[in-house]
Structure 1
């Protein structure tokens, strides 16, 4: 379900003065003219090769006939995917990583985070349409199933444990989950993301019904009420983490989508990989480090302990950026506007300055998430929770692209290194003697 708070304005006189617009093509008509499946039409939109417009008062999209014809002349026939040669290279129109910058659909992702909320950016990433004020609302049955299932887990269960359980429960309550049409996938996604948030246990008072996803997520992360500045940081973090090209969890999600797994299963695949300590869980290590830096009054002894024990200093360096992670830069700037974040920010900058004496490592998104969670008195797993909720939109975007590709295209060959055949049948082990 969605709720859109934007309302059009205008007058009948203005409408009368506008020239008549040429009839637009439906998705089915555009697909027929292009000679492709409807899913592929949305893949063209995702790659920026085709523009779409939402049907007035409807849920479908329409396309300019002249633009579709131009695309037919340009492409002639679809080019084979780069991965068809066996290389793990995928054509995608979602995220571009550039030196010290990254872009969603060609637009600077950090600027999107400064100007738009998470749901607006997610919808735009999926459809190429910006819908100001859009809100995602959970359907009652999947939400109830997700809450009940997540509540049965042991008290020590992590938020990611609960999210995985919630996804499985929500899937079982959605008989339409197997609809892999673009609109079917979008409906599932718009329901699933708020369902995940709703399934997490509340630490504080519930958010305002119909509020932003960040407002709904806040009481699941903190027992303290949220102020405007804190919500702005959380919403920006959700946007910044929406996608980051083919990270490990996104690759897993695309592999699942290539088998034509439904969107819930795609998200489950992503969550399974995200929990790794070198991926989504990395911010928890940075959180604990910053807490120790604050307690001990400086980063030097904490960094020394990490190095002495052969552990890397968390929250520093990123293989895709030589300088500071652009996502960290946005969050640090927003945190600087929060007076209560000063101790955590001082600790984070002390860690960077201390390690810079010996290595040119810059802050990454994990350190920024840790500074946020420490400043707001949130649990160490906060960053992982924010990461998981945010990246769900990216996994769905990649799934929609993958549904438009040839199924089962990711089938690498193993290089066997075991004993050369033929080998004799293994002999059963003798039973252990009775005592």
Structure 2
């Protein structure tokens, strides 16, 4: 006898096992595997025969998994997270609009919210003296041409080596490590501006002098702080997935961050802001974005800083930063160039600004290098990787184990012989 669908206590319809399987495009047994792995919740059907499932929950899982699940029973390719929701062209951190959080609170306060679900007014992160000294020595040994991500990767490794308790994966220990690691990453970067501006304040102020030699002002610091807060997390981006895989194997938090940094450096992820910076710099120098956009289109290159697969309209994080950049007098020229880039490209494709273009306005207008956006991204997202690690440490170990689809020659094949030179 099959289970019967019936409305729940709210009057919302529930699905039978067969209906849920059809919607997901899987076998009924796989539906119960989802339940055992915590990806779906179920309730006993009326009369105690079979199970029923929340229709909205099943549809959400179908969207995340692309309808079809070809992974083995022990592998999770879509899983629950209570950290970030992207819905209706908006981004929410633990249910709260991310742009509102970024406008109202410091990066450190938003990080604490992401980690614990509690707000800690006035939160500040402090690097351990010995850890910071080790990170600075190690970073100082790198060649002068090393990029910021090179320095951050080395700083993470140095920080891990100084922490004998790094294998303690309790939430308290992980958060203690994170609150020290993030300011260590910033403090290990070389100072470009006045050394006196590099200490005694928020993380945004600490980072400012590592990004530019120009003096900080309140409006610019507000933009940088908001960028740090907005970039903390963005659901399961490529680097975050790598971080969760590492955490699933019970890697310590420093190794989790290293995994994230390794992926972040790709030109389609964290390094994308550098492409937007160079494009916008050229538009400002030439006095118009039109020929710059035309050059990109003529050579078949995509125009950087535009479009995002998760948003139909403008990236809400970019919208928030553009609004703050209006209060930065030095940003007027770059801001106008960015708008011209969007307007010119819109004649050919319905693309909207993303956060990389907004970061480029800040970096171009305040004398920052091309990789400044990548630096901001990496420092900020460290908190997000830690948040996902905390979540993953509470799950079944090694649950993220997809299987390969073998396309090589079928066995048995003859044993290869050694080639002899004539």
TM category (shorter chain) comes to 0.7 to 0.9
Deviation at 1:79, TM superposition (A): 5.9
Verify: 1:232 aligned to 2:232, yes or no: no
Q: Work out which of the residue numbers 81, 89, 111 in structure 2 matches 1:122.
A: 111
SS in 2 for 1:233: helix
Q: Work out which of the residue numbers 19, 25, 38 in structure 2 matches 1:81.
A: 38
Alignment check: 8 A CA contact 1:96 1:245 kept: yes
Q: Work out which of the residue numbers 239, 244, 250 in structure 1 matches 2:234.
A: 244
Verify: 1:139 aligned to 2:96, yes or no: no
Instruction: For structure 1, list consecutive stretches of 5 or more residues without a partner in the other structure.
Output: 1-77
User: Could you tell me how far apart the structure 1 residues matched to 2:416 and 2:338 are?
Assistant: 57
Residue pairs, 1:12-411, within 5 angstroms: 80-82=37-39, 86-206=75-195, 207=197, 209-411=199-401
Alignment check: 8 A CA contact 2:199 2:205 kept: no
- Tell me the equivalent position of 1:8: none
User: Could you tell me how far apart the structure 2 residues matched to 1:324 and 1:403 are?
Assistant: 34
User: Could you tell me how far apart the structure 1 residues matched to 2:91 and 2:371 are?
Assistant: 26
SS in 2 for 1:134: coil
User: Could you tell me how far apart the structure 1 residues matched to 2:199 and 2:76 are?
Assistant: 47
User: Could you tell me how far apart the structure 2 residues matched to 1:330 and 1:229 are?
Assistant: 13
- Tell me the equivalent position of 2:68: none
Alignment RMSD (CA, Å): 1.3
Alignment check: 8 A CA contact 2:278 2:370 kept: yes
Residue 174 to residue 87, structure 1, CA distance change in 2 (3 Å): closer
SS in 2 for 1:102: strand
Deviation at 1:423, TM superposition (A): 1.3
Alignment check: 8 A CA contact 2:155 2:188 kept: yes
- Tell me the equivalent position of 1:17: none
Alignment check: 8 A CA contact 1:137 1:210 kept: no
Deviation at 1:374, TM superposition (A): 0.4
Residue 209 to residue 166, structure 1, CA distance change in 2 (3 Å): same
Alignment check: 8 A CA contact 1:102 1:108 kept: yes
- Tell me the equivalent position of 2:23: none
Alignment check: 8 A CA contact 1:324 1:362 kept: yes
Deviation at 1:428, TM superposition (A): 2.4
SS in 2 for 1:103: strand
Residue 410 to residue 215, structure 1, CA distance change in 2 (3 Å): same
Deviation at 1:80, TM superposition (A): 2.8
| TM-score, length of structure 2 as denominator length | 0.82
Deviation at 1:429, TM superposition (A): 3.0
Deviation at 1:87, TM superposition (A): 4.8
Alignment check: 8 A CA contact 2:126 2:180 kept: yes
User: Could you tell me how far apart the structure 2 residues matched to 1:137 and 1:180 are?
Assistant: 20
- Tell me the equivalent position of 1:4: none
Alignment check: 8 A CA contact 1:135 1:210 kept: no
Deviation at 1:124, TM superposition (A): 1.3
User: Could you tell me how far apart the structure 1 residues matched to 2:239 and 2:408 are?
Assistant: 29
| TM-score, length of structure 1 as denominator length | 0.80
Structure 1 stretches of 4+ moved >4 Å: none
Deviation at 1:180, TM superposition (A): 0.3
Deviation at 1:85, TM superposition (A): 6.5
1:335-368 CA distance string (max 9 Å, x none): 1111110110011000000000111100001000
SS in 2 for 1:175: coil
Q: How many aligned positions are there?
A: 355
Alignment check: 8 A CA contact 1:253 1:395 kept: yes
User: Could you tell me how far apart the structure 2 residues matched to 1:327 and 1:98 are?
Assistant: 13
User: Could you tell me how far apart the structure 2 residues matched to 1:208 and 1:221 are?
Assistant: 11
Deviation at 1:305, TM superposition (A): 1.0
1:139-179 CA distance string (max 9 Å, x none): 01111111111111111110000000000010000111111
User: Could you tell me how far apart the structure 1 residues matched to 2:350 and 2:333 are?
Assistant: 24
- 255-264 or 201-210, larger mean C-alpha shift: 201-210
